[in-house]
Structure 1
């Protein structure tokens, strides 16, 4: 019984989504390396573990609140949700979310001591937004703001905050990379929302996909996949050629996701595209890191 419960909690944490916490860390290490600034690995470890906890906490809140609001029902085509399946109660899942948010704050204490007030603000806002993603008086995901949340917090804030911790500064380089990473991380939620567009519409969950419609949502996904490469011209202009060239090796995988999305109507089939999308962002960030070492 304990083993099956553990397996259910792991499923509820949605490990496939955790790439959204890893990609900004790998990419930021690359950016800092390109500036020949020594890497403080304890900062990387604390930031990564804290990001994992915030991501998992957000996923638990999402699991519980989507069930409570009726977005997760018998018509759901996505992966299993533990609250919907009555494996755990709403209260149990929300308490688990709170535990992970608390752990994220504890892991962030050394970062606050090192980085000061900017890191306090980032940490508190990240946890609050984790709750606000699907709960509270104006849940972001239910008003079409989920994609913007990911771009800001898993892109600009994740890259910018770690860059600041490692260098003590915040530059245009960090802004550009933050946007690139933000777009890459948002592909996952955009595909998720397009998959669920019909059931979300039924329960008045106005995700960006619902607001844009099927065609508009597909165009948005194409933009998210292509935009990081268009922004890569910034690195060419900075004469950091390898920071553009090596991430481009991930483009064929991104184009294959576009082809699949364009040729497939929203359905459970989209679950297969999520792993490809996660891999796409990972290869991009690893390419950026390797490019910084050349």
Structure 2
């Protein structure tokens, strides 16, 4: 394996695993609390989440690369922008991942009989591609955090919970939505940290992420708000389910060094560490939530 490929894989791991695994862990915790855990459905949800997240990474790599957005990059290497892999190969990999997600999603639909989930799956794939793809990518208009909150927060987490518990329990809906908010807000914090790191380069090429629109100072404040709001969602979940769910707050000490680094005004490579810590914080939140809801 070449050094450049290893560098890309490391960057992909930092972006992919927390964002894909955390919603499934948290959603499965809700299912366990409601005595409805279904291992096969949980595994299928994990396949969907992983395939979509890896597909988004490939799609962003391709679309940003052919636009020249990654020509002067601070963060981990990009395949197309660096010339390591041909654009057509990266595009094919993205759609291969989307296809795998679609197959797993169809299996979930068949097992649950909820055929309207096909529409949700189509929307998720379109949102994954048009984040940076197409003529008017919404990620270039400052709407990336909206996509992350909806699809890697609400859809992935609540979806994991509700396909296992069924869609008729009001309490399950409430708990699934609160868990989704906690996980989704932390996923947004990952994206905010990523875009804060790239704010100068993105602004130079016309990529108007939320961080570019807010500016440096307000983006740092926004990162803190996302962390605090995620903690509040965890507390609300515990208050309406079991106080054992407060174990989800284990993410706070993990995120604390990242918050200090962001508020201290760090730029460039130090923010890569913030990205890693925020991803670990999301994973810690999901694991704490799973364990707490299971104990409850």
Match of 2:189 among 164, 187, 190: 187
Are the structure 2 counterparts of residues 6 and 259 from structure 1 closer, same or farther at C-alpha, using a change threshold of 3 Å? closer
The corresponding residue for 2:177 is 175
Residue 121 (structure 1) aligned with residue 122 (structure 2): no
1-structure distance, mates of 2:4, 2:78: 14
The corresponding residue for 1:52 is 50
CA contact (8 A) 2:44 2:108 kept: yes
Query: Alpha carbon RMSD of aligned pairs, Å?
Result: 1.9
Residue 215 (structure 1) aligned with residue 217 (structure 2): yes
CA contact (8 A) 1:12 1:81 kept: no
2-structure distance, mates of 1:10, 1:43: 31
CA contact (8 A) 1:222 1:258 kept: yes
CA contact (8 A) 2:27 2:159 kept: no
Are the structure 2 counterparts of residues 118 and 161 from structure 1 closer, same or farther at C-alpha, using a change threshold of 3 Å? farther
The corresponding residue for 1:107 is 104
The corresponding residue for 2:240 is 238
The corresponding residue for 1:147 is 145
Give how far 1:250 is off.
2.1
1-structure distance, mates of 2:155, 2:139: 19
5+ long unaligned stretches in structure 1:
none
Give how far 1:103 is off.
1.4
CA contact (8 A) 1:159 1:177 kept: yes
2-structure distance, mates of 1:285, 1:118: 27
TM-score (ref. length: structure 2): 0.92
Residue 64 (structure 1) aligned with residue 62 (structure 2): yes
The corresponding residue for 1:283 is 284
TM-score (ref. length: structure 1): 0.93
Match of 1:84 among 70, 78, 81: 81
The size of the alignment, in residue pairs, is 289
